[in-house]
Amino acid sequence: MELNNRIAALGALGTQLMSQGGVPENVALKAKVLNPWFTVENVQKATIEIAKAYLDEKKLKAWLSDYTSPKSESPKNVGLLLAGNIPLVGFHDVLCTYVAGHKAIIKASERDQVLLEYILSVLGEYDDQSQEKFEFVERLSDYEAVIATGSDSSGRYFKKYFGNVPNIIRMNRNGIAVVYNDTSEERLEKLGKDIFSYFGLGCRNVSKLYLEKGFDVQRIFAAIEKHRDIIHHHKYKNNYDYNFAMYLLNKDDFLTNDFLVMRENEDIGSRIAALHYSFFDDRPAIQSELLAHKEAIQCVISDRPVDEFKVFDFGEAQQPALDDYADDIDTLEFLLEL
């Protein structure tokens, strides 16, 4: 199928998802049963965000206009080992493989497969050849290239296991926010979305705050108060209770507002229902600090630029565009050069 026809099919898919408010309720409920973190609200939110950001014909054409045609006229079998931490988290890899003209051999997370299967079935209504381009498998085999996402430990294994073929291997990364003393209360309120969207499970969720020296941490608690209801989700509450108990037992210094634990800590990654923070003196200092930890950072949230990072405004951590590639590795370029 020609690229323009694939773009049209993706646009039609996006229009349908938008018009029906996401996926059908029975699909959302099935996803929730398989993964209790996938509330119906979050499933529909993720689906609509994908439709708006990834499945708009004008955006697709603008994105693809920066690329040349595939160097090889022979489609490849591309193994996709997808994560399942938030709804449809692996969709961008599937999309890139499809527009590049390859076949996606998909090892989906069992926690997220039902949503992807539904969306690809709808795509088949607009591209009757698309079903030949997707195959769900229990174990990857017969692949000529691989894109795999996992933890740091599994990522090291993936690098060895898939080292004989072209590959992209992604490991743990997190979102961070750089907050200045004059950062507005409006922006701090939006920061709550970056912390709590999808319960903080995404690699783009903010897990660490870099606060300008003199910043009052209580401003963060005041700004995120509207997210208090998150504590009523039983799995989130279990994580909060565990963090609270462990910090007490270890006699750690920490702050809490009864639904989030904040602790001064140099680590970028933090547990669910916990947030790390540290202080910096000035912009040169924070820029040096972030560059030193670049491999651990997925995205930066701030109201000022940071050298060598694309910076997102507050509230936009979970709104990546088509060209906001995970780990800053151009997935589509990799696929087009196979």
CB 146 within 8 A of CB 140: yes
Q: Are residues 12 and 118 in the same domain?
A: yes
* 27-71 per-position pLDDT tens digit: 999 999 999 999 999 999 999 999 999 999 999 999 999 898 766
Q: What is the mean pLDDT of the chain?
A: 95
The verdict on 182 and 233 lying in the same domain is yes
- The verdict on residue 65 lying in a domain is yes
Residues 165 and 179 in one domain: no
Instruction: Provide the CA 63 distance to its chain's centre, in angstroms.
Output: 19
Task: Evaluate whether 55 touches 10 at the Cβ level (below 8 Å).
Answer: yes
> In angstroms, rounded to a whole number, what is the distance separating the alpha carbons of residues 278 and 266?
6
**212 and 252 share one domain:** yes
Signed CA dihedral, 239, 245, 248, 250: sign only:
negative
On whether both 164 and 87 belong to a single domain, the answer is yes
- CA 173, CA 195: separation in Å to the nearest integer? 14
- 265 with 281, same domain: the answer is yes
CATH number of the structural domain spanning residue 204: 3.40.309.10
Q: What is the pLDDT of residue 93?
A: 98
Model confidence pLDDT, tens digit, residues 87-109: 999 999 999 999 999 999 999 99
Give 72's pLDDT tier (boundaries 50, 70, 90): low
Q: Would residue 125 count as lying in a domain?
A: yes
> Could you tell me the CATH number of the domain that includes residue 115?
3.40.605.10
What does the pLDDT average to over 165-176? 96
231: DSSP letter: G
- Overall average pLDDT of the 305-313 stretch: 95
Choose one of 115, 142, 171: the last residue of a domain.
171
Among 171, 205, 231, residue at a domain's last position:
171
Domain assignment present for 333: no
On whether both 185 and 123 belong to a single domain, the answer is no
pLDDT tens-digit map of 310-328:
999 999 999 999 999 999 9
DSSP class of 236? H
In a domain, 45, yes or no: yes
Instruction: Please tell me the pTM assigned to this model.
Output: 0.95
Q: Are residues 51 and 163 in the same domain?
A: yes
Residue 336 lies in a domain: no
Dump pLDDT digits (tens) for 224-254: 999 999 999 999 999 999 999 999 999 999 9
Residue 237 covered by a domain: yes
Q: Which residue range is the domain that position 297 belongs to?
A: 174-312
Determine the average pLDDT of the residues in 98-127. Answer: 95
**Do 206 and 93 fall within a single domain?**
no
Domain count, the chain: 2
**Cα-to-chain-centroid distance, residue 315:** 14
Same structural domain, 165 and 215: no
Pair 39, 7 in one domain: yes
Does residue 334 belong to any structural domain of this protein? no
Q: Please give the share of the chain, as a percent, with pLDDT higher than 70.
A: 99
- Position 300 in a domain: yes
Same domain, 26 and 145: yes
Cα–Cα distance, 47 to 53 (Å, whole number): 10
pLDDT value at residue 2 = 85
Which one of 171, 193, 215 terminates a domain?
171
